[in-house]
């Protein structure tokens, strides 16, 4: 059963605003070239003025509790060519228990350097306001292990989880490949210690040349990759002890119409990890969203 | 709880300001000039680069499709210019070396809203260069 009380006013008014903006005359989309990563980030930011609306799912198996389906919506906006801002709305269904809204996140990514370099840094900062029932596994940090996710929703949702999350993203595009490394530091705003984590990724399109005819199924539209991520303990017990780790091969299909579909089977690498997660997602990119907002507030220009 | 509500409202306000930032109506001609000036900033190594797709007859066609998918939203149909970015049918682009255009594509002009397109593989970026060069050659021939 969906707990409607948990959804509150924010998502409804947010969706109303979004629908209003989208109905003001967005006519074309822009085809972005998205890598298949779901956890790792690369240094490619959203195009300025574009809004990418995304939906992702994580189906998770659990040995010590019921399986679950974590899902989230993302609204990713290119504020400038060097700043991307993003809002997440998280929810989950635990089979045999309930479906609940678990919280929101506000994320910002900044590209400090003007040009491409051998390695390109991006600074990431996120404010997270959710509860302990959150199961989207958007990142793995500290001593996150499978058994943490077995707590029944009714109990876990009572505990608030407000965190600031920082990432240093180091990424490079080289000969068609993307290589990325993310280092993660998280501070719970209560009195918990700093927690750490990592994510690594590599991806490449199936072919590097564009086709000379229009097609949806050409190899250039498919990007295959793999990512690996896990926790690195906390300030008092840094390292691999009592942490979980995952490896996930993935595929992204970037359609010329602006749609991107991603699928990523994920495998736990030790006994403390979920044995198997299946992640998938769909996104659509609206170009000219910034101008549509401008016309909403300032009126149309000749 | 009030603190978190306030932080949420502030966040949404900041997001709205951010939304308005790139939306500044028609592309300013002065800004266009400065964007073209970026072509001259390409390092000598890139200025001298030859287009490895120069002899590929399909390259401008493939580049045209890539342009529609990635660039037309800002630079307009067939690069005639749009609300967000200048025309690429300009003498500066016509006279630029293929390597300089490739360099701009690879590095963007981040402070002036032109994104980095290094996420496109190199052959696709060269196909785009072939398309832009063909477009400007056609224009020169037809005297438009």
Considering only CB atoms, which chain A residues are within 8 Å of B62? 209-212
pLDDT digits (tens, 9 = 90+) for B31-71: 555 678 889 889 999 999 999 999 999 999 999 999 999 99
B112 contact residues in A (CB cutoff 8 A): 81
pLDDT for residue A295: 78
Residue A154 reports pLDDT greater than 90: yes
Closest CA to B142 of B97, B78, B96: B78
Chain A residues with beta carbon closer than 8 angstroms to that of B116: 44-45, 81, 116
Q: Which of A70, A66, A80, A69 is nearest to A110 (CA)?
A: A80
Confidence class of residue A287 from pLDDT cuts 50, 70 and 90?
A: confident
**CB neighbour class for B86 (10 Å; exposed up to 12, middle 13-18, buried from 19):** buried
pLDDT bracket for residue A1 (50, 70, 90): very low
Residue B20 has what pLDDT? Answer: 46
Closest CB to B121: pick one of A176, A297, A301. Answer: A176
| CA nearest to A134, candidates A166, A152, A157, A163 | A157
Quick one: pLDDT at residue B31? 56
Complex ipTM over 0.90? no
**Nearest residue of A to residue B123 by CA position?**
A209
The pLDDT of A210-235, averaged and rounded, is 96
Spell out, as residue ranges, where chain B has pLDDT lower than 50. Answer: 1, 20, 22-26, 140, 143-144
Q: Best interface-test mutation with A: which of B64, B69, B125 has the largest number of A CBs within 10 A? A: B69
Confidence of residue A302 (pLDDT cuts 50, 70, 90): very low
Q: Is the domain A4-298 a CATH 2.40.160.40 member?
A: yes
3-state class of A150 per DSSP?
helix
d(CA A68, CA A61): 7
pLDDT (average), residues A179-205: 96
Average pLDDT of A179-195?
95
Could you tell me which residues are beta bridge partners of residue A283? A54, A260
**Residue B133 and residue B112: Cα distance in Å, rounded?**
23
**8 Å CB contact of A116 and B116:** yes
Determine the Cα–Cα distance for residues B130 and B124; give it in Å rounded to an integer. 10
| B76 found inside a domain | yes
3-class state of residue A237 by DSSP:
coil
For residue A276, the cross-strand partners are A267
Of B20, B63, B115, the CB nearest to A48: B115
Residue spans of the domains in chain A: they are 4-298
Which of A160, A163, A180, A210 best tests the B interface by mutation, with the highest count of B CBs <10 A? A210
Q: Rounded CA gap, A16 and A10, in Å? A: 10
Q: Could you tell me the pLDDT band of residue A152, with boundaries at 50, 70 and 90?
A: very high
Among chain A residues, the shortest Cα distance to B26 is held by A301
Q: Which residues contact A89 (CB under 8 A, 6 or more apart)?
A: A11, A14, A72, A73, A101, A104
For chain A, the straight-line distance linking the first and the last C-alpha, in angstroms and rounded, comes to 50
DSSP-derived secondary structure letter, A81: T
Distance CA A150, CA A133 (A): 9
Percent of chain A whose pLDDT exceeds 90: 79
Chain A residue with CA closest to B14: the answer is A85
Mapping DSSP to helix (H, G, I), strand (E, B) and coil, where does residue A234 land?
strand
What is the nearest CA distance from B86 to chain A, expressed in angstroms?
15
CA distance B68 to chain A (A): 9
Interface test with A, best of B23, B53, B84 (most A CBs within 10 A): B23
Contact assessment for residue A260 and residue A253, using Cβ atoms and an 8 Å cutoff: yes
Considering only CB atoms, which chain A residues are within 8 Å of B109? 81
What range defines the domain where residue B127 resides? Answer: 26-142
* Contact residues on chain B for A80, CB-CB shorter than 8 A: 18, 21-22, 110, 113
Name the closest residue on chain B to residue A126, using Cα atoms. Answer: B11
Name the token pair of B140. Answer: 């020169």
The domain spanning residue B57 has which CATH number?
1.10.760.10
State the count of interchain CB pairs (< 8 A) between A and B.
143
Number of domains in chain B: 1
């Amino acid at each position: 059963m969906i707990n409607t009380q948990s959804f509150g006013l924010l998502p409804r008014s947010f969706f109303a605003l979004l629908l209003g903006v989208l109905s003001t005359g967005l006519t074309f989309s822009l085809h972005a070239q998205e890598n298949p990563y779901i956890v790792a980030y690369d240094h490619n930011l959203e195009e300025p003025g574009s809004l990418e609306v995304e939906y992702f799912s994580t189906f998770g198996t659990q040995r010590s509790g019921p399986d679950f389906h974590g899902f989230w919506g993302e609204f990713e906006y290119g504020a400038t060519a060097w700043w991307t801002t993003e809002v997440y709305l998280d929810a989950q269904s635990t089979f045999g228990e309930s479906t609940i809204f678990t919280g929101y996140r506000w994320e910002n990514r900044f590209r400090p350097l003007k040009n491409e370099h051998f390695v390109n840094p991006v600074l990431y900062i996120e404010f997270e306001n959710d509860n302990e029932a959150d199961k989207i596994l958007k990142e793995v940090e500290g001593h996150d292990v499978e058994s943490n996710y077995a707590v029944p929703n009714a109990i876990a949702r009572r505990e608030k989880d407000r965190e600031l999350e920082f990432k240093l993203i180091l990424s490079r595009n080289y000969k068609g490949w993307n290589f990325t490394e993310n280092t993660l530091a998280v501070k719970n705003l209560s009195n918990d210690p700093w927690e750490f984590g990592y994510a690594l990724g590599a991806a490449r399109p199936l072919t590097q040349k564009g086709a000379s005819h229009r097609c949806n199924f050409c190899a250039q539209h498919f990007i295959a990759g793999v990512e690996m991520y896990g926790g690195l303990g906390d300030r008092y017990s840094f390292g691999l002890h009592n942490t979980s780790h995952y490896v996930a091969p993935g595929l992204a299909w970037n359609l010329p119409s602006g749609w991107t579909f991603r699928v990523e089977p994920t495998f736990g690498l030790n006994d403390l990890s979920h044995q198997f997660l299946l992640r998938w997602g769909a996104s659509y990119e609206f170009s000219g969203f910034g101008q549509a907002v401008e016309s909403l507030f300032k009126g149309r220009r000749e | 709880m009030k603190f978190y509500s306030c932080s949420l409202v502030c966040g949404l306000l900041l997001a709205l300001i951010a939304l308005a930032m790139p939306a500044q109506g028609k592309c300013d001609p002065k800004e266009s000039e400065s964007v073209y000036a970026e072509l001259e900033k390409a390092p000598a190594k890139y200025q001298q680069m030859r287009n490895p797709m120069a002899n590929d007859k399909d390259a401008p066609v493939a580049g045209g499709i890539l342009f529609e998918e990635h660039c037309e939203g800002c630079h307009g149909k067939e690069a005639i210019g749009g609300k967000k970015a200048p025309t690429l049918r300009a003498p500066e682009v016509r006279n630029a070396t293929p390597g300089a255009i490739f360099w701009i594509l690879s590095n963007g002009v981040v402070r002036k809203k032109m994104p980095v397109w290094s996420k496109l593989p190199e052959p696709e970026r060269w196909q785009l260069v072939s398309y832009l060069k063909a477009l400007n050659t056609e224009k020169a021939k037809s005297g438009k």
